[in-house]
Amino acid sequence: MRYIRALLAWVSVPVICLLGLLLCLARPFNPENTRIIGWAVARTGRFLLGLERPLEGYEYMPTDRPTVIIANHQHNDDLFLMADMLPPRTVAIGKASLRWIPFFGQVFWLGGNVLINRSRSTRAVAVIQTAAAAMTRERKSLWIFPEGTRSHGKDLQPFKKGAFHAAVAAGVPVTMVCAAPYQSETDGPLGRRRPVRLRVLPPIETANLTPDDIPDLMTRCHNQMREAIGELSEPPAD
């Protein structure tokens, strides 16, 4: 039954994206496309998986000004946990290979999201700088998984610098989204899995920071997220 739920959830993604492609073709590169499709994908996926997602601190998510949102990245199932949390005018950073995923890749691109090739660091830095300019000029927010790869429920991995360079360049706050460790539906134990708790932390302001402050900013964010993830790993108090 576990695998059937997972299969149905992931089959729903290209189906929703195919319908979302019509929206994207009607208004290409509109960042609201991503938010609408993300909402549908996440809500449908959690329903099919029977997955509960208690959410704390969403009032800290800025909705009236740009922000760089960073989140810990564990499994592909993060899509179902977090895709309906995007504030208005939010685009995401993703690896270039996503463009080849049928329907999802095309919707991701037409949603105004940013694709980077991590093997070409110079190009990736230029894209991050362009995204920072868009945050200032077009008042967009940016969603990034700063670990750069999935942790598979293990400890929070070191952060890459791109998200923090973008935040400092644009002078926007860094907002942290923390998910409790969990196992994906295809590698977890049999039976209904426990709810996956999420918490949004108060933003860290970057106004007046310079590139020299980025290492300290990264350390502060990593420490706060690691502490929050540890707390979310504990059973909730009755």
Whole-number pLDDT of residue 71: 97
- The structural domains of the chain, ordered by start, are 2-233 (3.40.1130)
Helix then strand then coil, % of the chain, to nearest 5: 50, 15, 40
Cα torsion at 70, 72, 74, 77 (round to 10°)?
Answer: -50
With 0.75 as the threshold, say if the pTM is over it: yes
Whole-number pLDDT of residue 238: 57
Whole-number pLDDT of residue 185: 61
Whole-number pLDDT of residue 205: 97
Q: Provide the residue-wise pLDDT of the chain in tens; the chain has 238 residues.
A: 778 888 999 999 999 999 999 999 999 999 899 999 999 999 999 999 999 999 999 999 999 999 999 999 999 999 999 999 999 999 888 777 888 888 898 999 898 888 777 665 555 566 677 777 778 888 899 999 999 889 988 899 999 998 999 999 999 999 999 999 998 765 544 344 679 999 999 999 999 999 999 999 999 999 999 999 999 998 766 5
The residues, any chain, with a CB within 8 Å of residue 178's CB and separated by 6 or more, are 71, 72, 198, 199, 200, 201, 225, 228, 229, 232
Whole-number pLDDT of residue 2: 76
Whole-number pLDDT of residue 119: 61
Query: What is the CB-side half-sphere exposure of residue 97 using CA atoms within 13 A?
Result: 2
The residues, any chain, with a CB within 8 Å of residue 25's CB and separated by 6 or more, are 110
First to last CA, the chain: 30
Whole-number pLDDT of residue 127: 67
Task: Measure the CA–CA gap between 227 and 224, rounded to whole angstroms.
Answer: 5
Question: Count of CB atoms within 10 A of residue 96's CB?
Answer: 17
The residues, any chain, with a CB within 8 Å of residue 158's CB and separated by 6 or more, are 147, 222
Residue labelled with tokens 């923090």: 164
